[in-house]
Amino acid sequence: MPGTEYFGAEEKREVNEVLETGCLFRYNHEHLRQGMWKATEMENEAKRFTGAKYAHAVSSGSTAVTTALAAAGIGYGDEVIVPPFTYLATIEAVIWMGAIPVFADIDETLCLSVDGIKKALTPSTKAICLVHMCGGAADMDGIMKLVKEHNLVLVEDAGQALGAFYKGTSVGLFGKSGAFSFDFFKITTAGEGGLCITNDEAAYDIMHQISDHGHSHLGNNRGMETHPIFGQNFRISELHAAIGKVQLQKVEKIRADKRANKAVLKARLAEVDGITFRHMDDPEGDSATFLNFFLPTQELAQKTMDQFAADGIAGFNYWFTNMYHFINQWDHIKNKNSASKLPFHVLDCPQDYNNLDIPKAQNVVGRLISLGVRGTWTADELQALGDKMVASLKKVLG
C-alpha cells in the first residue's frame, strides 16, 4: 500500500539537493537554499492535484488534523461529532484542541452516516470531523445537506484518502478545511508528514501561522516577523517535503495502478458466495488504497482472518480487534486517561464513552476485512493472491 513502492531516483535527487544546500528549514535563509523551496513546491503539487486554492504542509497527519481543526475555529468546549472507526489521531486532535468528541455511528461506507450524525446532534454541536476511511469518500451529498441544515462546521480528516474524489471534488474540500497524512503507510509517503488544504484564505492564514509559532511569514527577517496568534511547531522539514513533492507528482500513476489491481482482486472475491463489498456512492472517486469486503457474520470474519494466517496470506486488516483504529480497544479514550487535566475532564459531555450506542459500527466493523492494495503487483502475483484468497474463503464459507 505505501508510496515507498514507487521510490526511485527522483526522490533521491530531491533529497540530495536539500542536503547539498544544508538548508533543512522551510522558511527564509535565501542565501543558503539556491532557489529551492521544497515545502512550497510540495504544496503547489497538492494544489495541482486536489484543485485546492491553498495548501499547507506540516510535520504529520496528526498535526494536519489539529491544524485543520484550528483553522476551522474549533476550540474549548465545542462538541465535535467524530467516528468510532478511525485512526486515534482524529480523536486526539479534537481533545488537544480543548473540544469534546461526540461519537456517532457509521454505515457500510465505513464513514459517518447521516442517520448516525443526526442521532448524535445536540444543541451544543458545533462541528463534524468527518473521516474518509480506508481510501474512499463518505456520503457527501447527504452529509453536506445535514451540515447546511444545522449550520455546522465541517472538517475532513482524509489521512487515508489522498487521491479520493467525490463526484469530481477532492476529499478535504467540502468543508472549511481538510487534512492528509504522508506517513510511512500512506498512498504517498514522506516518511512523516501531513498536509492541510482549504479554499478559504482566512483558514489558510491560520494554518500557516499556527503551525509555526504564530509567525505571519511576512517579510524576509524571521526574527522581526509579527505574531498575529500564538501557535505550535508543526513545521515540515525540507527533507520530508522533498520526498512528498515527488510522491505527489506520482500520485496519478499510483492511484491508477492501485485501481487496476483492486479491480482484478475484487472480481476474484466476487466468485465467493457470501462476500459483499464496501458501499461507495461514487466508485469512480475511489483512491483504491484498500479492498474492503464483508463476511456475513463477525464470527466468519474472525475465522477468515485465522484461515488467511494459516494459509500464509498477509496484508489484511481486521479492524475490529485493531488497537489503533476502533473504539473497542480505546480504553484510554473511554476512561479519559491522560498525563494531565484536559478540558474534557471538567466540561459536561453528552456521552458516557464506555456505553455508546453505535450498533451499526459494531456490526459493520465486526464483519469487515480490508486488504492493503499494492500498485506494483505483477499479473502473476495477482493471479496467485486471488487463487489463495478464494481458496481460503471457500474453506470458511463452504
What is residue 180's predicted lDDT score, i.e. its pLDDT? 98
What is residue 1's predicted lDDT score, i.e. its pLDDT? 54
Report how far residue 159's alpha carbon sits from residue 60's, in angstroms, rounded to the nearest whole number: 10
What is residue 97's predicted lDDT score, i.e. its pLDDT? 97
Mean predicted confidence (pLDDT) in 157-177: 97
Q: Which of residues 195 and 32 earns the better pLDDT score?
A: 195
Which band of pLDDT confidence, cut at 50, 70 and 90, is reported for residue 66? very high
- Cβ proximity of 182 and 190 under 8 Å: yes
Return the closest-CA partner of residue 26 out of 58, 49, 54. 58
Q: Does residue 261 carry a pLDDT above 60?
A: yes
Cell of 331: 480504553
Which band of pLDDT confidence, cut at 50, 70 and 90, is reported for residue 33? confident
What is residue 356's predicted lDDT score, i.e. its pLDDT? 97
> Which residues of the chain does CATH 3.40.640.10 include?
3-251
Q: Does residue 168 carry a pLDDT above 70?
A: yes
The tens digit of pLDDT for each residue in 294-307 reads: 999 999 999 999 99
Q: What percent of the chain has pLDDT over 90?
A: 94
Cell of 118: 443526526
- Cβ proximity of 60 and 93 under 8 Å: no
- The domain defined by 3-251 folds into Aspartate Aminotransferase; domain 2 (3.40.640)
What is residue 225's predicted lDDT score, i.e. its pLDDT? 86
- Cβ proximity of 197 and 49 under 8 Å: no
> Which residues of the chain does CATH 3.90.1150.10 include?
252-321+361-397
- Across-strand partners of 154? 128
Report how far residue 247's alpha carbon sits from residue 347's, in angstroms, rounded to the nearest whole number: 42
Candidate from 103-117, 219-233, 273-287, 314-328 with smallest mean pLDDT? 219-233
Beta 368-372 vs 290-294: how paired, if at all?
antiparallel
Report how far residue 186's alpha carbon sits from residue 3's, in angstroms, rounded to the nearest whole number: 6
Eight-class DSSP state of 285: G
Residues shown for the chain: 398
Report how far residue 245's alpha carbon sits from residue 296's, in angstroms, rounded to the nearest whole number: 42
The tens digit of pLDDT for each residue in 192-238 reads: 999 999 999 999 999 999 999 999 998 777 778 889 999 999 999 99
3-state DSSP helix/strand/coil percent for the chain, to nearest 5? Answer: 45, 15, 40
- The domain defined by 252-321+361-397 folds into Aspartate Aminotransferase, domain 1 (3.90.1150)
Q: Does residue 398 carry a pLDDT above 90?
A: no
